[in-house]
């Protein structure tokens, strides 16, 4: 039955995939906390207007990819395709502007109806960081450094490189747009159909085109650098100086742009050649005009999002799971006592496997299958004497010790391993 298979573009995250997925999210959470980022969660769906207004009414995401529907109350809602718009909406509706800047971390599923391919699904997951209320270039530096540190903590630094560009301030951006349109207008008939449409509504997006003909035309296109005013040049110089001071290497990519008008100054991506065409694993930029465009106060912002699935695919090894302790009753008469012992160990911080059925050999076999390091055996004799038998399943050795000493013995074994 088709209804019993995952919907195309979705998948179950189990086993090793789950370990990799958790590693990425927990590493992001831990590193972000070190940088002072508070964790938040926004709704999985928002009013459609939140995304239509912020992503652009004519963007591919809005016109082709959003999962939008009318709910039973007649409201137009959309499953979130990205985090930033929801964060900005929360900033406005939650009146979070009293103590700026605020630094936020979040993680969760996103939804886009697009062609599934390696590292890209219709339900996918992201980790995301945002800084709202900091106009200083050093905020850009910190946000990028945070991304670099997460990659380093995951062991992925050698697989990714930082690409950097500036979009300038609104004045510089408008000047460049005029120059770019003037140049591309002479090649209108040679542009791809997508780029011809973008020439009218969003010409900077043409710089992102993967069409071979478009790329050839763009070889001689004017660069944004020539349109930057002094303030924009100074801002970008400060960002580069901050990255240099932290020893974060980067390359300037003049074709790295963000098409919407609320993006300003810094645009960046950490890219890899290990995933085929889907090269970006972290992508972000400064969006000083977003909050105001949504009807809020004029408030600067910068952030990035990273694809959890893509980062998980890059991990060299599947992270090791914590090996549990198996509590094994010997005989039906001690099962409740063994259950109590398992609960004591869990409350003292140990991961415990407790089988619900089977003879001694069957339970020990299951303990081995669950990758348990130790089995704690409890029979009637041990129960009466206040003792347990601790079996090392790796070495095949065992010892008898007082039940009261068991938790400390397991902690010592964990430290020694």
- What DSSP string runs through 157-178? GGG-EEEEEE---HHHHHHHHH
- Say what percent of the chain tops pLDDT 90: 54
Among 290, 314, 338, identify where a domain stops: 314
- DSSP E strands in 73-198: the ranges are 76-79, 102-111, 123-132, 161-166
Using the predicted structure, report yes or no on whether residue 60 has a pLDDT greater than 70.
no
In a domain, 345, yes or no: yes
- Asked whether 95 and 126 are in contact (CB, 8 A), the reply is no
pLDDT of residue 86: 93
Average pLDDT over residues 379-383: 91
**Would you say residue 116 lies in a domain?**
yes
What range does the domain containing 270 cover? 2-169+229-314
- Show which of 255, 282, 314 is a domain's final residue: 314
Q: Over the stretch 61-120, which tens digit does the pLDDT of each residue have?
A: 665 788 898 999 999 999 999 999 999 999 999 988 888 999 999 999 999 987 766 667
Please check whether residues 55 and 152 belong to one and the same domain. yes
Number of domains the chain is built from? 2
- Residue 94 belongs to a domain: yes
pLDDT value at 276 more than 80:
no
Query: What is the bridge-based pairing of β-strands 102-111 and 38-39?
Result: parallel
Angstrom distance (rounded) from CA 287 to CA 152: 26
| Residue 212, token pair as written in the block | 């071979």
Share of the chain above pLDDT 70, in %: 95
Mean pLDDT of 182-207: 86
Provide the CATH number for the domain around residue 112.
Answer: 3.30.930.10
Q: What is the pLDDT of residue 61?
A: 63
């Amino acid at each position: 039955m088709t209804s019993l298979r995952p919907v195309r573009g979705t998948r179950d995250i189990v086993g090793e995939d789950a370990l990799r997925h958790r590693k990425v999210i927990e590493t992001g959470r831990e590193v972000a906390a070190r940088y002072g980022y508070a964790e938040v969660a926004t709704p999985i769906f928002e009013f459609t207007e939140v995304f239509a207004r912020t992503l652009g009414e004519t963007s591919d995401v809005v016109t082709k990819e959003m999962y939008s529907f009318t709910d039973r109350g007649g409201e137009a809602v959309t499953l979130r395709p990205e985090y930033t718009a929801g964060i900005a909406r929360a900033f406005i509706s939650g009146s979070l502007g009293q103590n700026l800047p605020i630094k936020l971390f979040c993680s969760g599923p996103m939804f886009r109806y697009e062609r599934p391919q390696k590292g890209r699904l219709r339900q996918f997951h992201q980790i995301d960081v945002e800084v709202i209320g900091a106009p200083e270039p050093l905020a850009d530096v910190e946000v990028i450094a945070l991304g670099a540190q997460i990659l380093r903590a995951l062991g992925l630094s050698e697989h990714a490189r930082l690409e950097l560009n500036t979009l300038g301030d609104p004045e510089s951006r408008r000047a460049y747009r005029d120059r770019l349109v003037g140049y591309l207008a002479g090649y209108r008939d040679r542009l791809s159909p997508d780029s011809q449409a973008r020439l009218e509504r969003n010409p900077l997006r043409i710089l992102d085109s993967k069409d071979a003909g478009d790329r050839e035309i763009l070889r001689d296109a004017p660069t944004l650098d020539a349109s930057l005013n002094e303030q924009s040049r100074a801002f970008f110089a400060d960002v580069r100086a901050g990255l240099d001071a932290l020893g974060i290497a980067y390359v300037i990519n003049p074709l790295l742009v963000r098409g919407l008008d609320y993006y300003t100054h810094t645009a960046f991506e950490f890219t890899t050649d290990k995933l085929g065409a889907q090269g970006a694993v972290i992508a972000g930029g400064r969006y000083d005009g977003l909050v105001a465009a949504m009807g809020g106060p004029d408030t600067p912002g910068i952030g990035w999002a990273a694809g959890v699935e893509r980062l998980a695919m890059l991990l060299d090894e599947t992270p090791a799971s914590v090996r549990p302790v198996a509590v094994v009753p010997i005989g039906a008469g001690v099962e409740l006592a063994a259950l109590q012992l398992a609960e004591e160990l869990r409350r003292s911080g140990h991961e415990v496997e407790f089988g619900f059925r089977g003879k001694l050999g069957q339970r020990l076999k299951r303990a081995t299958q669950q990758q348990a390091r130790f089995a704690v055996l409890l029979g009637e004799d041990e129960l009466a004497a206040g003792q347990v038998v601790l079996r090392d399943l790796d070495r095949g050795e065992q010892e008898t010790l007082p039940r009261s000493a068991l938790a400390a013995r397991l902690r010592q074994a964990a430290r020694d391993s």
